[in-house]
Structure 1
């Protein structure tokens, strides 16, 4: 391909934490990517912005663990760029703040590839701000410096110790060494210091103390990834904490961390419900939504829609897939004139309404069994179209409708599979017991969760022992049954089988637990 026809490579900063801190230009670049070469700490919801067909390559450099050699990252960028693909190199924070960008830029330039840089919000600025610590202040700080905490011997500590405010990135593992050098070169041991872990994320934590006390305060705690702020401005954190405490401390899930096992594409709604109640959350996707092995059966049914009396949709995924194939044939809601639509659950109904369609029937209980029991008319001789998950779904709906005389056409609309791997951060959160509640919105997420974790814990018994003290929460009776069969328990079961109902059930459980906890 001619160099003039090549797409520019985008070097993009993902910001410090969740998708909330992504710039609009960064979002646009990711949404158009053919290849996404990303760091390990980038929020999965940021990665989910990329198109389904986008190739995602994790080249994350994890402190203390295996990392992708920089030369290989450079080669990957050049390889995909020269193939004419739209390449996004996605880095946490800002790509030019300890982002190792020079090597990549040099390699791309040597290969004749053009580059566009999209700045991101650096954690050096964001972490103190999100902890209520201004880096400058008219009275307390007229300057600040940002250091790497990897190689302490490269810095002029005598000069650094004279500055008002010091910010250290990637320094959690060298915290004692940083403190020691500052004290040796003139810093008073009473100088305030803050360690801000997981900045910009719901599970953000802040430890404050002085140079004399911070090492003891954080002993035996895995602080990484963390930003360290040092200086008199750290005292302002207490003022900020007092201002913010009333807005979160009294929320029903305040202080709890919830593990979400829904797919990356589906976790946002639940995460927002939990955040609104004061909970932090960690994503461990135990489900991947994929296209079916073939669209042929669904397309054939859509071509003969006029032959059906009812369309049954039992999930938002089924609605999305059906609507996508409808549009592929340049059809819209008018093609469903004369066909009645039944849905299971408020969420499914809401997704359907986004397509401009109104369900004709929704059972009072959001389970498939209720749809059959409460069906509004006789189904004898009725032709029913049921787009569904390709395999692994419950068969009772089809069986019962068939037993009552309906002619049901099942067509695969999507697949739900198990992800290939578990994120290291989520695994560590479970092992360190940073999680208070694990949530499951389907039996398949329970099964896949175990499948993902068994290579680490080796047996189901060992896994169950590791989860001791962490509540297990299920969205409905079938999911609860699967939890009991695998974990031997289900601590929380939603009465209303929706994400809202599951959130309410967790809040009720939290209230009971706190009421009976020893003071």
Structure 2
């Protein structure tokens, strides 16, 4: 039986993509949910693409840390009519990233125990005779490159998304018990610069996915009320439900 744990709660998702199952989970438990993406991604197309597409067989591993990287990588392969060689192994950070790779027919050969780049480089073992290619977005830090020696291919760029800022502020001001969920440092920065300047941080409950996002919040003196050990949107909602459920 579903609880009514999120009744009178209004949850704001600020990422560039939204999983329908998460929205359903929120409404099933009595909450309202709004999606106001504070960042957007666009494919990056440069001469570098052709270089990497023509030299994929030089790599033993491909490393993905986001669904967007998978999406734009697949787009590039499909346009070039290239099939990924079966000899290449794939490492994925995050269950959603892995799921999207599997959806496109790719086998996953390595996933870290915690979905973060710093844990990845501790657990991932690249042999001395192997080469890896990190398929990344423009905002990805150098952690994986520095920790593994992987080459980097930037397949998409992340930009601040101003379109929804005013609507988000207006909605927060007029709903009960707003909860804002952040899934990336980029979204935190946009919120801090565009929203928190007129709506105090303590007027909302903050939830964070991942310790990197939490560190970005700490830069503004904010400690999230919700930060699950599992770095997924599903885990955030489940923790909210657990905390709000009657004992």
Please, what TM-score do these two structures have when normalized by structure 1? 0.45
* Aligned-residue offset at 1:452: 2.4
The answer as to 2:214 corresponding to 1:501 is: no
Contact 2:9 2:176 in 1 (8 A): no
2-structure distance, mates of 1:473, 1:504: 12
2-structure distance, mates of 1:270, 1:388: 25
Q: 1:467 to 1:384 in 2, by over 3 A?
A: same
* Aligned-residue offset at 1:478: 1.2
Q: 1:312 to 1:488 in 2, by over 3 A?
A: same
* Aligned-residue offset at 1:287: 0.8
The answer as to 2:142 corresponding to 1:395 is: yes
The answer as to 2:24 corresponding to 1:272 is: yes
2-structure distance, mates of 1:286, 1:307: 37
For 1:380, the equivalent position in structure 2 comes to 128
Contact 1:492 1:509 in 2 (8 A): no
2-structure distance, mates of 1:488, 1:443: 13
Deviations 1:138-162 (A, max 9, x none): xxxxxxxxxxxxxxxxxxxxxxxxx
For 2:10, the equivalent position in structure 1 comes to 257
- Structure 2: 5+ residue runs without aligned partners? none
May I ask how many residue pairs the two structures share in their alignment? 247
The answer as to 2:60 corresponding to 1:309 is: yes
* Aligned-residue offset at 1:450: 1.8
Q: Secondary structure at the match of 2:219?
A: helix
* Aligned-residue offset at 1:423: 4.8
- Structure 1: 5+ residue runs without aligned partners? 1-246, 403-407, 458-462
Q: Which has the higher contact order (CA 8 A, sep 6+)?
A: 2
Q: 1:295 to 1:267 in 2, by over 3 A?
A: farther
2-structure distance, mates of 1:509, 1:478: 23
Q: Secondary structure at the match of 1:336?
A: coil
Q: Secondary structure at the match of 2:195?
A: helix
Please, what TM-score do these two structures have when normalized by structure 2? 0.91
Q: 1:371 to 1:422 in 2, by over 3 A?
A: same
Contact 1:287 1:418 in 2 (8 A): yes
